[in-house]
Amino acid sequence: MDVIIMGYGRMGREVEKILLERGHRIVSRVDPGGFGNELEPSEESLEAADAVIEFALPGGIEKSAALFSQYDLKVVVGTTGWADKKEAVLKPFKSGKGAYLYGSNFSIGANLFFKLTIAASKMINKVDDYDVMLTEYHHNKKVDTPSGTALSAAHLVLDNLDRKTEILSGNPQGAIKDEQLHVASVRGGSIPGIHTLTLDSPADSLEISHTARNRSGFALGAVMAAEWLMKKESGIYTVDDFISDLLDP
């Protein structure tokens, strides 16, 4: 693949390493902060590229999505924190030009965590003894709280466990309601990301935990998703579409 790296920060650099390891070519590294070789994608790069991998900040996401659709590109987006603009960002890809695949966590291990979260939530649906909660730890530079991954896992619990109907984030100032699912966030140090689902009964406790060691797992998943997207039709996809193809028995 000939790829534009959109956002040349910590994740963009990891993506670059994995792309080169897997024999792909880099058309340009775009970053308005001046860290790449282009401040915005040039016409030449847009015409030369097959795909874009974007780990940037959400400020420019709407504009870049429209541009990439215009050039019929396959776009993988890991940037988080743009739920409020989702409709406008996705709109150009409903026109039959370009493909857009997005997700809050591209790590294959974290997606195994999601699948185990679904399975555990379904299993304890009939076993009232078990309460359930989520915790997440991240480095002190993380801007969004709770993490996109924790919110995705929380919604999976709500969708699959009838007795939980509401997400409660932050620090509760007293007892919480039975139907609330507490999602607790801790910030500090350099932690790339720890997410834990705890199932707790009067008799015992189980933990399903995913610990990212570094950012390479996210970058590998994003590159694999772009390889997968190259074989797909135009349109809108989520990381789940790719992961289900990869992991479902």
Ligand X SMILES: NC(=O)c1ccc[n+]([C@@H]2O[C@H](COP(=O)([O-])OP(=O)(O)OC[C@H]3O[C@@H](n4cnc5c(N)ncnc54)[C@H](O)[C@@H]3O)[C@@H](O)[C@H]2O)c1
Q: Which residues are identified as catalytic?
A: 138, 142
Whole-number minimum distance, CB 127 to ligand X, in Å?
Answer: 32
Q: Which is nearer to ligand X, 91 or 176 (CB)?
A: 91
Please identify, using beta-carbon distances, which residue of 11 and 134 lies nearer to ligand X. 11
Nearest Cα neighbor of 210 from 105, 113, 119 is 113
Between 30 and 151, name the residue whose CB sits nearer to ligand X. Answer: 30
Nearest approach in angstroms of CB 59 to ligand X is 5
Query: Could you please report the per-residue DSSP string of 11-51?
Result: HHHHHHHHHHHTT-EEEEEE-TTS-SSBSS--HHHHHH-SE
**CA pair distance 51, 26, nearest whole angstrom:** 10
Alpha carbon of 153 to those of 61, 84, 119, 212, 227: distances in Å?
A: 24, 19, 12, 15, 25
Tell me if residue 225 falls in helix, strand or coil.
helix
Q: How far is the CB of 153 from ligand X (least distance, A)?
A: 13
Residue nearest to ligand X (CB): 9
Contact residues for ligand X (CB under 6 A)? 6-12, 30-33, 35, 55-57, 59-60, 78-81, 103-106, 218
Residue nearer to ligand X on the CB measure, 6 or 134: 6
CB of 240 to ligand X, least distance (A): 13
